[in-house]
Structure formats: structure tokens, C-alpha cells
Amino acid sequence: MMRRRELFGAAMASTAVAAMVSSKEADAQAASARAARGMPMPKIKDLKVIECAPKGSRLTVVKVITDQDGLYGYGCATFTQRADLIKPAVDLYLKPLLVGRTVDRIEDIWQMSYNSSYWRNGPVENNAISGVDQALWDIKGRMAGMPVYQLLGGKAREGVDLYAHAEGAEISQTIDEAKKFMAQGFRHVRMQVGTPGMAGYGAPRAGNRIPAIHDEPVFEREGAKRRALALFEAARKELGPEIELLHDAHERYTPTEAIQVAKDLEQYRLFFLEDVLSPEDIIWFKNIRAASSTPLAMGELFNSPHEWTPLIKDRLIDYMRMHLSQMGGLTPARKVAAMGEIMSVRTAWHGPGDVSPIGHAAMIHLDLNITNFGIQEFTPFNDAEKAIFKGVPEMRGGYYYANDKPGWGIEIDEAEAAKHPFRKDPLNGGWGVIRLPDGQIIKQ
């Protein structure tokens, strides 16, 4: 009997001690929370531009550094074709405006930066703003201990469906490339083929140069159209009806030719036809919509709401395809995505090699969250990129999966980045010239 009383007393004492410990831990956690709430909001201490070219394309990232030790964020500001202009835009204009501002007011900082130049919607300024904007979202995620998609409202899907690029100088080569991607699990493949003798887009050229009265790269629209139609006729026969096929016209047709291309491709049931018009000709989308049921994607060259708003508002495209840094970052992209949801226009953000892994991560976090996601362009990361950008999104079975660490989940090794500096070339990253046989410049 005495032994049972001793054991009972010991148990009671142990319980009391545990309760005291638990109470002390709870008190400590509560004190910590109060202290955190009482701390001043971190301020922007510095803006730093990181430049590198790990696979040829010149990538630019803005690092926003706060006055709190170890707290910073990264944002993509890549504008490969005018890459040398982004750093001065950040250093000379945004840094004096933003240093000393608190990092929590992302919307206010975006509006302040956007309006600060008076003349707005230019690609240099938009990319600089994007670098800051995405970096502030990264910081907010790090402060909250959450990936950015959680800050946006959480996942609407588990992974991000992708499309890959199949290309070849000959139709058979393009189809073979598509089969390889299908074997990896891709359900969507963009198909591009070279046109003999021409400087095409997205595929190497085959054959001898077609006749022209100039010496520069040459393109002829009717020949390119016939080649594209032959590609998709063969692709449907060999790849079957289930694979989703995409094609990029790359804005090389006149408006009336674009209508005919969209009509001719109907029989091959494309997932979408991309950039069948140039931004200068977007008023013609209503004519294409009236004449053809081919789904349309547009937007990678857009910088301004004046370009994408009418197409989304009037449901003249099926997929918005803007480049996140060209439109100013995550903040405007999430708003336009919400507009598209109301209008039943889905997303297909521009994701080529001249987007940094930070930019790809930003797109993927937004893709995971929104309900009108359509498809995401896939560009693989090479070993040099993975050495610089630690924690890039992972592709498995034709889907991208985000890193679930706080913010974008990516850290940059600046020493590795320095091993891959910008390389000079005659056009300094810009596009070359392509002409019709008579010598007229065409859009591309």
C-alpha cells in the first residue's frame, strides 16, 4: 500500500514538473511572438544586381537586402536583348527611391516605382521593377516561413503541367523529338520545323538559301505556311490524336495570312497557336476569332495593360502568354490572372531560356495557386544554372514541382555566378535581321 502511494506521489510530482516545463515553453513562445510583433519592420538597406550567362542568355537578378542580418530576397529582371540597361535602371533610379522603405508594402512600392519615371510601360523599367517586386515577395515568404504560393492562398494543384519544344530541320526530326518528350511523360509538345532555304523560328534551317535580292537572312511567308501545315499533317498521323500539339507563328504573317493559317490548322486540333499576329496588329484578333476555332495564345512581347486588357476583356485569346518580368513582376501578373479567370482566359506564361530560374520559380508559384492555369512553357536548367541557383524547380513526368522552402526556395551562389559573365557579341544580345526576298524587314 505504501509503495503504491509513493509511486502515485512520484507520478503526480512528475506531472507537475512537466506542466511547469510546458507552461514555461508556452510562456517563452508567447514572449517570442510578442517580441517579433514588437520589432520594427525590416527596411530596404540596398539593392544589388547579379548578372550572369550560364547558358548563353544573359540573366539579371535583383537582390533586395534588408537592414535585418540574413534577410534578403531575389527577383528576376532579365531582359536579354538589352541586358546592360537593367543594372543602371536599378542603381540610378530605383535604389535612391526605395532604400529606407519597409519591405512589407509590396503594392505601394510597385506603384511608386511604376509611376516614378512618368513615362511608363517600357521594357527596361518594367524589368527593373520586376526584380524588386519578386524579391519583396521572396522576402515576405522568408519572413513568414512559407513558400510564396502559400502567401497567395495555397495550392490549387499539385504540379504544373508543362509543354516541351520539339524542333528539327526536317519534319521527321521534329516528330522524333516529340516522341522523346512523350516518352518522358509530356502531354503537350510545341512543334517547329525548319523551312528549306529560310531563316525560320525555333528550328534549324535545311537546304540551300532561297533566291533573294539581298545577302541577309531571308524568310518567305507562303513557303513557311505550307511547311507548317505539312508538319502537323505528319505529326497527327504519327503521334496520334491524344498528344496536345502547339505551334508558334512568331508574328511573321500579315493579318489576312494569319486568319488563313488559323483556319488551315483547325483540322489538326492544336492546343494553341501562338503569336499569329504582332503586338501592333492585335486589333485583328477579332477577325481571327470570328473566322476560326483554333485556340489562340498571345502576349510574350507585351509590356503594357493597354495591350493585354482588350484581348482578355473581349475573350479574343484563349491563353495569356505574358513574360512576368516584362510586365513588371508577380504583383501585376496575379492581378491579370484574376482578370483572366473571370473571362475564362487561361495562362501560359512565357518561360524560355532567357528567364532566370528565379523567374521560372515565380511563374510556377503563381501557376500552383491560380484556378485558370492553362499550361507552362518548359526550358530545362543546365548544370551551370543549377550550380548558381540552388533549389531550382524540379521536373518529373512532364510536371514542374516547386521547392517548398520559404519564399522562392532558391539561393544564389554569387561566386559561381561570377564564373559566367556576360559575353559580348556583335548585337550585344539583340535579335538579328530577317528580310523578305525583296529586302523588306519582317517582324520576328
Provide the annotated active-site residues.
Answer: 201, 250
Q: What is the 3-state secondary structure (H, E, C) of 389-403?
A: EECCCEEECCEEECC
**CB burial string 205-234: b at 16+ within 10 A, e below:** ebeeeeebeeeebbbbbebbbebbeebbeb
Phi, psi dihedrals of residue 222, rounded to the nearest 5°: -65, -40
Sign of the CA dihedral with 185 first, then 190, 193, and 199 last:
negative
Phi, psi dihedrals of residue 246, rounded to the nearest 5°: -130, 160
CA–chain centroid gap for 337, Å, is: 13
Contact criterion met (CB below 8 Å) for 180 and 162: no
CA–chain centroid gap for 354, Å, is: 10
Contact criterion met (CB below 8 Å) for 347 and 374: yes
Contact criterion met (CB below 8 Å) for 129 and 110: yes
DSSP state of 155: -
Q: Beta strand 188-193 with 160-168: parallel, antiparallel or unpaired?
A: parallel
CA distance 144 to 121: 31
CA–chain centroid gap for 388, Å, is: 18
Neighbours of 154 (CB within 10 A): 11
Residue 24 to residues 10, 11, 13, 20, 215: CA-CA distances in angstroms? 21, 20, 16, 6, 81
